[in-house]
Amino acid sequence: MPRQPDAAGHFGPYGGRYVAETLMPALLELEEVYRRSRRDITFQRELRTLLQDYVGRPTPLTFAKRLTERWGGARVYLKREDLNHTGAHKINNTIGQALLARRMKKERLIAETGAGQHGVATATVAALFGLECEVFMGSDDIARQEPNVFRMRLLGATVREVHSGTRTLKDAMNEALRDWISHVASTFYVIGTVAGPHPYPMLVRDFQSVIGREVKKQIVQHEKRLPDYLIACVGGGSNAMGLFAPFLNESSVRMIGVEAGGLGDGQNAASISGGHIGVLHGSKSYVLQDENGQIRDTYSLAPGLDYPGVGPELSYLHDEYRVQYVTVKDADAVEAMRLLAETEGIIPALESAHAIAYASTFVPRLRRDEIVVLNLSGRGDKDLQAVARFLGAVH
């Protein structure tokens, strides 16, 4: 079992509930409903059925034969979250939260989104359950993720364009929180990552842990043992925690989180590698901030990583030396996207490509009898225009 936060929602010094007093009753109610649901056989059966029959789980664990040969080191497996309905891991969590919203008799879902995948996943489950849906998205992200914006609207959601701040994920989350404060009685806020006030980091991790639980079974079927390394990209961190959590007590398994190095020279979104402890969006964690504690502008070509904070449990795991964190720049992620497409016929999301890019430098140094699992958190359809523009600018 993964570590549980304390009664106030802390993993070590991180986490907690730093929110407006108006939201405290809603958070306490959500925590109680979630704790009951976690023990409820009916709830868990419905969740498993939807994940199987609607989402398409379990997703395959694919041996990357040509990539393994290209790198010449450890054996490489890809956890194929890109094959989920909606094209990413995000729906694992939105299905679970929509079931909680229905139990709480909420009529409206709201969400924030950067890459658009969480917005699409929220709009999808809102349509499935017949709920109203509004998605907050920064205007810069809307411009670079046009296909996902259209998908959300086609699914019946209202997309609220956010023009404040850096016009990206941080600002979308700010606006979603403001909306929730104003409509807390009727609205359920579907947070898309393992950040935000307690109990969100805990419940999002638990819903996403299906990834790691499946990997644990699948890798034993393939290799008769556990992997040596797990590698996942880290923005807020939901796909990483989903992979890592079921392995935290397996001391032989080493874990690597890959943050967005952006363009370098301060233009990045590497909260753990370059941040300091602070409070953002209702919880204490590593945050990118200036000497006065003001949140720094961030940048990554991958919009799902373009966020100045990270989940509190991932911060705790950094301090405990249980997870190692590294950074990858935009250009290397784009090259990794092309590499996976050419070797395995799979076009990954830019977010996932960060994990592949780091693996391309790390895996060749490993022994051939070692095993690496890369979490392929989403597919790259949404990023093709942005990558084409980037390559055009570069070349």
> Residues with catalytic annotation?
90, 112, 377
CA pair distance 62, 228, nearest whole angstrom: 16
Tell me the C-alpha distance between 190 and 185, whole Å: 14
Indicate the SS3 state at residue 319: helix
Which residue pairs from 23-29 have beta carbons closer than 8 angstroms and sit at least 24 positions apart in sequence?
23/177, 23/180, 23/181, 23/184, 23/197, 25/184, 26/180, 26/184, 27/197, 27/198, 27/199, 29/104
8 Å CB contact between 236 and 311: yes
**25's tokens:** 């009753």
Q: How many CB atoms lie within 10 A of CB 39?
A: 8
Nearest Cα residue to 260 out of 351, 377, 166:
351
- 137 forms beta bridges with 113, 161
Secondary structure element (H or E) that encloses residue 161, with its range:
strand 158-162
Cβ-Cβ contacts under 8 Å for 7 (sequence gap 6 or more) = none
- The type of residue at 232 is A
Torsion of CA 177, 138, 261, 345, to 10 degrees: 110
Q: Are 48 and 231 in contact (CB under 8 A)?
A: no
Query: Which amino acid is located at 108 in the chain?
Result: R
